[in-house]
A = this chain, B = another copy of it.
Amino acid sequence: MTKMQKQIKLAKRPIGMPEMEDFAFIDAPIGTPSNGEVLIRTIYISVDPYLRGRMQDAKSYIPPFQLNEVITSGVIGQVVESKSEQFATGDVIIGNLGWQEYSVANEKEIRRINPKQAPVTANLSIIGLTGLTAYFGLLDIGQPKAGETVVVSGAAGAVGSTVGQIAKIKGTRVVGIAGSEEKCRYLLNELGFDAAINYKKEDVPSALEKACPNGIDIYFDNVGGSISDAVFPLLNKYARIPICGAISSYNNVNIDMGPRVQTYLIKTSALMKGFTLGDYSNRFKEGGAALAAWLNEGKLKYEETITEGFDHIIDAFLDLFKGANLGKSLVKVADIM
């Protein structure tokens, strides 16, 4: 008898905030690996804001998800059957795999991770994609110099919290913007941010002005929208703005309108640059090594919000847009054997 598993497919393209009925939970047979392939049991699934963009049928840096196909994201799994000489049963691996309980993957699509080097989940967060995103966006585009002021939005998220800590390592003054008192306390007390602004309670323009008496040299933008609007009047000459995400607008149905930024950029000769991690794929080794070193030296901390159970993946994904997560959002599907 064929063994069955659960999968999640995109059933409809969401309009505005995604809803449960945009996704289909399907029972499907577990695949069988051919030569050069392995069968993987899913352990952790990464849920990330950027996935919302892939649910639209629009040109972007990665192709959109197709309707009625399994959604994919970063996955940590364990090899349960190997037809590859490079992987053995029991190996813990990482790759961009499906939202399903088991995957068949080619040996070229996955990479072995060492569970003794760091907690396995760190490979999806602080030493993985989100850590690398923070590393390259801040250092390559932001170019922080000691004594400068760095503002981070989405500061308690997986990327933002890493950005702030790297900015502290580089000797800057760091101001985080987040959405709860608990998150702000975390930034100040756990991560050593110099100031934190709760955008849900405070008037962001005046709070930013108070928190940045010397203006803003770098704004690492994870959110877009009105929070970002408040940054532009405070930019210093030659300010840099790495644009990593715009979570505030991902579920917009109407055009996202705000004050135009051109005159602010002219007045300050400021630079704004969008990026995605793929832009730096030839430098992952450098970034991963730096992050692992800082982690081992105790200079980087990270949090994870782990949701238990395959059935709750969509809940965990939707929680991202409610700001419910602290640090990296993951779903735990099974235990490592």
Contacts and interface: CB of A to CB of B under 8 A. Distances in A.
A142 to B, nearest CB: 13
Interface in A226-262: 228, 237, 243-246, 249, 255-262
A61 B43 CA distance: 54
A257 B259 CA distance: 4
Contact of A246 (B59, B263, B275): B263
A256 B263 contact: yes
A218 to B, nearest CB: 14
B260 A257 contact: yes
Given A61-B237, A237-B61, A265 B260 contact: no
Interface stretch (A87-95, A266-274, A284-292): A266-274
Contacts of A263: 224, 246, 249, 256
Interface residues of A, number: 37
Contacts of A180: none
A109 interface: no
Nearest to A271: B273
Contacts of A221: 262
Chain A interface mostly: mixed
Interface in A49-75: 53, 59-61
Q: How many copies does the complex hold?
A: 2
Nearest to A240: B273
B273 A249 contact: no
B261 A261 contact: yes
A266 B279 contact: no
Interface centre among A243, A258, A260, A268 (most CB of B within 10 A): A260
Contact of A59 (B245, B267, B275, B279): B267
Contact of A274 (B59, B60, B256, B262): B262
A221 B257 CA distance: 20
Contacts of A265: 243, 272-274
Interface of A: 53, 59-61, 221, 224-225, 228, 237, 243-246, 249, 255-276, 279
24 contacts: A61-B266, A61-B267, A221-B262, A224-B262, A243-B265, A244-B266, A246-B262, A246-B263, A246-B266, A249-B260, A249-B262, A255-B259, A256-B259, A257-B259, A257-B260, A258-B258, A262-B274, A264-B274, A265-B273, A265-B274, A266-B274, A269-B274, A269-B279, A271-B273
